[in-house]
A and B are shown apart, each in its own frame.
Chain A
Amino acid sequence: MNERDYTKGPDRWFLLQEISDFLFHEANLLDERRYEEWLDLLADDYHYSVPLRMNVEFADADTRGETKVGSEVCWFDEPKSTVELRVLQLATGVHWAEEPVSRVSHLVTNLRIEEVTMPEVKLSSRFLVYRNRVADETDFYVGRRTDVVRRTDDGWQIVKRHLLLDQTVLLAKNLSVFL
């Protein structure tokens, strides 16, 4: 079999279609609260990070505009084992922040392949997570997202998810949904 060329042409296009389908399916599992199935899509070395954003000068925006993953305070900066704890909490039935359950839609758009180093692919996208709760409580979490996905014998898995939420002060009262 010929070596595939993911830098351009049909191979790149098919790869993007395949991964898009995977990520939309993954988003759907979250919206339908099928968390156990969703956890199966996360690699064992999965890492989830959402740094804080800060108001800094134009010249510093790239270097100091967000807190550092791995050493500073973030909204999230955690391994799969912590994500699993969050899923357990949601399932208790007494996690009041999501009881009664919210209505959530994950929109993933502007999806682009950034880098292919098979079996891993790095992707760039924009996210919009909409939450409506109880009656008029409505939150929008919007920003940039970087994913690393890995092709395995069992299909695609997510290895890394890094999100830049476009808020310095969180305008929602909490982050009890997965972004």
Chain B
Amino acid sequence: MAAANLGSTSDPRPSVEATAEPVVTTLARDLVDVDNGVISREVFMSNEIFDMEMHNLFPRAWLFVGHETQVADPGDYFSSWMGTDPVLLTRDVDGEIYVLLNSCRHRGMKVCRYDEGNTTQFTCPYHAWSYSMDGSLVNVPGDLFGVPHMKAAYNGKLDKPNWGLVRCPKVYNYKGLVFANWDENAEEFLDYAGDFHWWLDNLADAFDGTPGDTEVFHGVLKWRIKSNWKFVSENFLGDTYHGASTHASVEAVGIGPGGRGQRRHGERQDQGGHSMGRTKTSFRNGHGASDNIAYEIPYPEFVEPEMNEYFDNAWEVRKERLDAEGRRLGGRGPATLFPNMSFAAGFPRSILVAHPISATETEVWRWFLADKRAPQYVKEWLRQYYMRYAGPGGMTEQDDMENWDYATQASKGVVAQRYPYNYQQGLGTEQLSELDRAVHSNHAISGEVNARAFYRRWAEFVDNLSWEELTDLARSDDRIEAIIRREDAAAAAAAAANESESVR
């Protein structure tokens, strides 16, 4: 029997009596015209849409909560967010990971206002209800343990097992990356991720390919922006188009492994272009990456010989290992796992989550990863590089925030909202993919196929389609059939032209 404190949001909104007039006035799907590449600004500005996102998307999507190395020992906890709900990523005394709603069941006080720490008991400051992480004291960790004046207040009859901290029913630890989903009926994480898992593997595996052999540096960058959270997700999802203009200043300076004047991601000067086979990857279920797994470039060339030694060796070991498994070597991103976890799995190697606050405010968090077994000098080199690259102090990311914030400000106006954003890049030029329910852009830099798929999936969630409908819609990828029809028609036209040529 499911405990009463098992959070579930399958039916997130109070039911509304059926009436002759439809109650729902806005449909997210009406605001997203994927076929014509046109998306309404309301998607980013409307409070009503934001409210729908909070009810229908965030409590049903798989969200990144934290990394297991942040809660390495029994009793460790890390304070995080899932949408607008505060949660605790915890490890109980037996070493199991739990995600708990950080709100007392009595009057809602945030039971823990520390960012991280170690405890076996969360005691609410308000009336001192306490919740235990020790399974020998309570049925399930997170359950209510201590209640002041139990006898006088409740005649000793408070049903404690039903008043524990609300426990997230679905938690999945993917190679150290901890994801959670409030909906007990949600599809399983591996189905949700699909073939996008190759990018997660490259994020979580060590540079030499050892599965999950990574850790996060202590310290999560957290900052506020006055922008819609989707600007952030979309930026990493496959917007390679913004780099040349947005990041012109950092690229002119050169802050990457090759030193001053060299490229910031560390590609060698003859790498990184479309000619090398770089195309973007877009999944039917909303995930997207700025590259594809067949796009294989070795690790960068560093100024420091000892760095080259570490990464040359790591690349060799990884190539041997992956070749033996028949695995592709590409897929470093940047990429976004639908809806709000973005990351890059190379240089830098970092995770970003865009926590929504309102339609026009977001709190951005950034974690940095390194190989667990990397020598100290490698970790230190990476730490320095990450800090000068990313986050609000980073020379690359500073310029992103300027764009997201002022795009938001300039889109708020009544007149501005009448005019949709343009997502027409590469319409009808998508390419087939070897991956399941995925297509590629036909270009490394241009192509907004990833964003179109993201917003299509977004609308399906935001309109609160059932899991059955969501699963059905994503069971096949209609873009693949469209590409085949297009290619068949082109082949037929070419054949006809050939024939008329030979008749003449």
Contact = CB atoms under 8 A, between A and B. Distances in A.
A15 interface: no
Interface stretch (A3-11, A111-119, A123-131, A165-173): A165-173
B114 interface: yes
Given A71-B383, A174-B397, 15 more contacts: A55-B79, A73-B218, A73-B386, A75-B391, A75-B392, A85-B254, A85-B255, A92-B252, A96-B246, A97-B401, A169-B224, A171-B223, A174-B392, A175-B398, A176-B398
B296 interface: no
Nearest to B367: A73
B378 interface: no
Contact of B249 (A60, A94, A171): A94
Given A92-B248, A97-B399, A171-B224, A73 B392 contact: no
B388 A67 contact: no
Interface string A42-63: 0000000011101111001000
A172 B363 CA distance: 11
Nearest to A87: B253
A173 B406 CA distance: 11
26 contacts: A57-B114, A60-B117, A72-B218, A73-B217, A73-B218, A73-B368, A73-B387, A75-B387, A75-B391, A76-B393, A78-B388, A82-B384, A82-B388, A85-B253, A92-B248, A95-B250, A95-B398, A96-B402, A97-B398, A169-B222, A169-B224, A170-B222, A170-B223, A170-B224, A170-B392, A174-B398
B220 interface: yes
B220 to A, nearest CB: 7
Given A55-B113, A77-B387, A173 B223 contact: yes
A101 interface: no
A76 B389 CA distance: 11
B247 to A, nearest CB: 9
A86 interface: yes
Interface of B: 79, 113-117, 217-226, 245-246, 248-250, 252-255, 260, 363, 368, 380, 383-384, 386-388, 391-393, 395, 397-399, 401-403, 405-406
B301 to A, nearest CB: 19
A108 interface: no
B115 A56 contact: yes
Given A77-B387, A89-B253, A95 B392 contact: no
Contacts of B403: 96
Contacts of B220: 52, 73
3 closest cross-chain pairs (CB), A and B: A73-B219, A170-B223, A95-B249
Contacts of B253: 85, 88-89, 92
B385 to A, nearest CB: 10
Contact of B393 (A67, A75, A96): A75
